[in-house]
Amino acid sequence: MPKTPTNHLGFRIQLTLITIILISTIGVSSIWYKSSERAVSLAVEQSYRQNNDVVKDHLDDYFNQIRLIYKQQDLKDNALEALIHNTGQMQRYLIEALRQHPSIEHFYFATPEGGINFAGRKPDTLRYHLPQSYANFFELVETDRLKAGRLNRYVLHPLKNEKILIDDLSIYDARKQPWFYEALLSNDAVWSELIEQEKKQGELSLTLSKAEYADTGKFLGVWGMDIHLTPLLKELTQSKISPNSIITILGRQGTILTSTHPAHRSKFTELSTISPHQTPLLFEVWKYRYGHDAISRPVYQFSYDGKNWLSYTGYYPLDGDDRITIMILSPMIDFTAVFFTAKNTAIILTLVLILIATLYGFYGNRYILSPVQRLTRAINNISLGNWGQTLDLNRSDELGKLADAFDNMSRHLERTITHLDQERQETTRLNILLERQNQELEARVTARTAELEAANNQLEKLAFYDPLTNAPNRRYFWQRFNETKAQRPCWLMLLDVDNFKQFNDTYGHQAGDFALQHLVSVCHETLQTPDFIGRIGGEEFAICSQLSDPHQAYALAEQILETLSTTPIVFEASQLTITASMGMVECEPDSTSCYARADKLLYLAKRTGKNQVFMENMKDRAEKNAIV
């Protein structure tokens, strides 16, 4: 039967309606999916931020517990002084502290003379060729007569209390360690930087140190302890944002201190470092963070091994400039599996049920997006401190499972925060108790303030560097020079800026300061390790060079003077040039008149024309040219 024009028109209207409905359905589905995706992204980021805060609370609690160990010290006056001078009692005290505090790796006490009494867990059996059974022993280290000098290293049998000497070759001075010096600058326990414990093992840990004084103001020594973060593993595992999430604590340069992922933890007492081969998943995030601001872009999405991942990077500050990096990773499917399922379902229903696609899209938008929005609002409320937010959807689909997982996490978070608040209250109580004890001691401390101020002034005089040029000062230079000369022959070069008083009178003292800084900068750029320069007078400087060849030493001196005389100083839109004279002598380990000989040559160089070098035993200018 032939089709009439009415039939053709009806077909075109039906096709147009179907097309409109299809386009509308696809558009509505697309808008719904993008809205859901944005809501999920916001919810995930808020969850990450909250998870990062929980981890930082755990770190706060952990480090405060460590600090309390120092605050609980009650060894004062004769009790501590007697313990210092009794090596056996001190070692028993240190070992008992290790047994009571499993988070402490090493515990030690350094004397004012640079000696040390040290106790640590699990000696390195491979390094000292010990039987494997020794791995559970304690390691003891002590210096002779409690002064800087030779180290005696033992292992202690935990039951028999027998000491076995394993090494006595090292020379050690605790006063040269960063943790010793930093402890002297504070009245409280201070965190030192992440330090390398054993170069052959590659172990890294955090060091906490505290200076101790007697009630008379006498400096008794410095306590020190090294800790690691492995005991935090249980709390970190309980804080994971999703079942497949990974929480990793990193030190500087990508050192993995602890991680909830077994493959990232230390093996054979040696900590792992992020690398593309051993930890490729962490390396992807570390590589991205190297060139991006983690504060403005904390969440990073990437693909690895065919899967999509999300990461969040946060930081936990320690004392000074050190900080710990908190890296949280989760597979995207932990958060978005339900939305990929909903998307595929919407596409199938759009193709099969064209006539009801619009209604279904509207229903699906309300059915799926509304719980996600509720989830976002709940997370926002949590971020504002309103704990105990739950969704209570009472649904058996994927969104219902996600809501149940969120409810469980919210309840666990509330319990964790409550527990942390209780511990903070206990810490506050202990701090109040300590404050009361400090107030009782304050009356006695006041009478000794003058002695403490005198001791602090003495410490300030130990500054090693000239504040203007940042070069070693006179005292530090001669100390390093004498140490170098005692070990091997070296060259002493004395420099003096020519006509410096006239330069100051002409251009002003600020220009003179720039000139001295310029001279030191030229020397730093010319000298090579281990040579060094120091400021020993107003415009007088000294250089210690370990070059063995006189030709090379003289060429170095000439190069410094030539660079100085040909490199202008830019000061107030003017280019100024300075010159210097130099006297240089070779110093043997047993020589005692190096400075006088070099100073005499310097005087001759200035008197006979300036801007020149006089080397000892150079009779005339011709011989100097021959040496060059």
Residues 40, 155: one domain? no
Query: What does the pLDDT read at residue 9?
Result: 44
- Asked if residues 334 and 244 have their Cβ atoms less than 8 Å apart, the reply is yes
Q: Are residues 113 and 220 in the same domain?
A: yes
* pLDDT of residue 496 exceeding 70: yes
- Confirm whether 81 is domain-assigned: no
Question: Average pLDDT over the chain, rounded to whole?
Answer: 78
Predicted pLDDT at 72: 58
pLDDT, tens digit (0-9, with 9 covering 90-100), for 461-489: 557 999 999 999 999 999 999 999 999 99
Q: What pLDDT score does 319 carry?
A: 60
- φ/ψ of residue 218, rounded to 5: -70, 135
Domain match, 479 and 620 both: yes
Q: 535 falls in which pLDDT band (50, 70, 90)?
A: very high
Q: What is the pLDDT of residue 445?
A: 74
Q: Is residue 442 part of a domain?
A: no
Residues 10, 127, single domain; the answer is no
Same domain, residue pair 479 and 411: no
| Domain membership flag for residue 478 | yes
What is the extent of the structural domain holding 204?
A: 104-227
User: pLDDT-based confidence at 386, cuts 50/70/90?
Assistant: confident
- In this prediction the pTM is 0.42
Q: Quick one: which of 516, 40, 51, 403 has its CA closest to 240?
A: 51
- On whether both 145 and 24 belong to a single domain, the answer is no
Q: Which helix (H) or strand (E) holds 95?
A: helix 87-100
Asked if residue 428 belongs to a domain, the reply is: no
Average pLDDT over residues 217-239: 80
List the structure tokens of 518. Answer: 């310029």
Measured distance CA(248)–CA(285) in Å, rounded: 12
Q: Which of 416, 436, 455 is the last residue of a domain?
A: 416
Report strand pairing: 256-259 vs 246-250.
Answer: antiparallel
pLDDT mean over 236-245: 79
Q: Say whether pLDDT at 26 is over 90.
A: no
pLDDT for 196 equals 46
Query: Which residue would you say has higher pLDDT here, 61 or 107?
Result: 107
Which of 416, 451, 466 delimits the end of a domain?
A: 416
Residue 39 and residue 129 in one domain? no
Among 77-86, 309-318, 529-538, name the most confident range: 529-538
CATH number at residue 482: 3.30.70.270
- The mean pLDDT of 23-29, rounded to a whole number, is 63
Are 471 and 533 a contacting pair, CB within 8 Å?
yes
Report the share of the chain in percent with pLDDT over 70: 73
232: which strand partners?
none
Which one is predicted more confidently, 625 or 248?
A: 248
Q: Looking at per-residue confidence, does 74 or 162 come out higher?
A: 162
DSSP string, 119-183: EEES--TTTTT--GGGGGSEEEEEEGGGBSEEEEEEEE-TTT--EEEEE---EE-GGGSHHHHHH
Distance between CA 19 and CA 32 in Å, rounded? Answer: 20
Gap between the Cα atoms of 173 and 538, Å rounded: 33
Choice among 120-124, 359-363, 551-555 with the minimum mean pLDDT = 359-363
Instruction: Measure the CA–CA gap between 139 and 503, rounded to whole angstroms.
Output: 62
Tell me the pLDDT band of 413, cut-offs 50, 70 and 90: confident
Clarify whether residues 623 and 500 are in a common domain.
yes
Does 585 map to a domain? yes
**Do both 113 and 200 map to the same domain?**
yes
Q: Where are the alpha helices (DSSP H) in 397-508?
A: 398-446, 449-460, 474-487, 500-507
C-alpha to C-alpha distance for 177 and 114, rounded to whole angstroms:
9
- In-domain check, residue 260: no
Give the pLDDT confidence of 148-161 residue by residue, as tens digits. Answer: 988 888 888 766 66
Residue 307 contacts residue 323 (beta carbons within 8 Å): no
Supply the pLDDT for residue 187: 81
Query: Is residue 412 a part of any domain in this protein?
Result: yes
Measured CA to CA, the distance from residue 42 to residue 46 in angstroms comes to 6
- pLDDT tens, position by position, 57-80: 777 777 776 666 666 565 655 678
pLDDT at 601: 96
Res. 374 pLDDT band, cuts 50 70 90: confident
**In contact, 464 and 181? CB cutoff 8 Å:** no
Q: What is the pLDDT of residue 54?
A: 79
Angle between helical axes of 509-526 and 500-507 (0-180°, round to 10): 130
Residue 413 buriedness (CB in 10 A; 0-12 / 13-18 / 19+) = buried
The arithmetic mean of pLDDT across residues 53-59, rounded, is 77
114 & 197 share domain: yes
Q: What percentage of residues in the chain have a pLDDT greater than 90?
A: 25
Please tell me the distance from the alpha carbon of residue 51 to that of residue 243, in angstroms, as a whole number. 13
Longest C-alpha distance within the chain, in Å?
129
Mean pLDDT along residues 568-587? 92
Question: Mapping DSSP to helix (H, G, I), strand (E, B) and coil, where does residue 57 land?
Answer: helix
* Alpha helices (H) along 527-609: 550-566, 594-607
- The conformation of residue 193, written as its DSSP 8-state character, comes to P
- pLDDT at residue 566 in the model: 94
Distance CA 76, CA 48 (A): 47
* The pLDDT value given to residue 569: 92
Report the distance separating Cα 203 and Cα 487, nearest Å. Answer: 31
How far is it, in rounded angstroms, from Cα 118 to Cα 103? Answer: 16
The SS3 call for residue 60 is helix
Cα–Cα separations (whole angstroms), residue 509 to 70, 502, 512, 515:
49, 11, 5, 10
Q: Looking at residue 498, what is its pLDDT?
A: 95
Asked, for residue 189, whether it belongs to a domain, the answer is yes
pLDDT of residue 17: 53
Q: 131: which strand partners?
A: none
Q: Which residues contact 486 (CB under 8 A, 6 or more apart)?
A: 589
**Confidence at 33, pLDDT banded by 50, 70, 90:** low
In the structure, how many helices (H) and strands (E) does the chain have? 17, 22
> Do 17 and 141 reside in the same domain of the chain?
no
Tell me the CA distances in angstroms from 264 to 246, 261, 285, 345, one per residue in order.
Answer: 10, 6, 14, 39
User: How many domains are contained in the chain?
Assistant: 3
561: nearest Cα among 615, 507, 509 = 615
Helix (H) or strand (E) holding 234: helix 233-238
Residue 366: predicted pLDDT: 59
Tell which of 389, 416, 443 closes a domain. 416
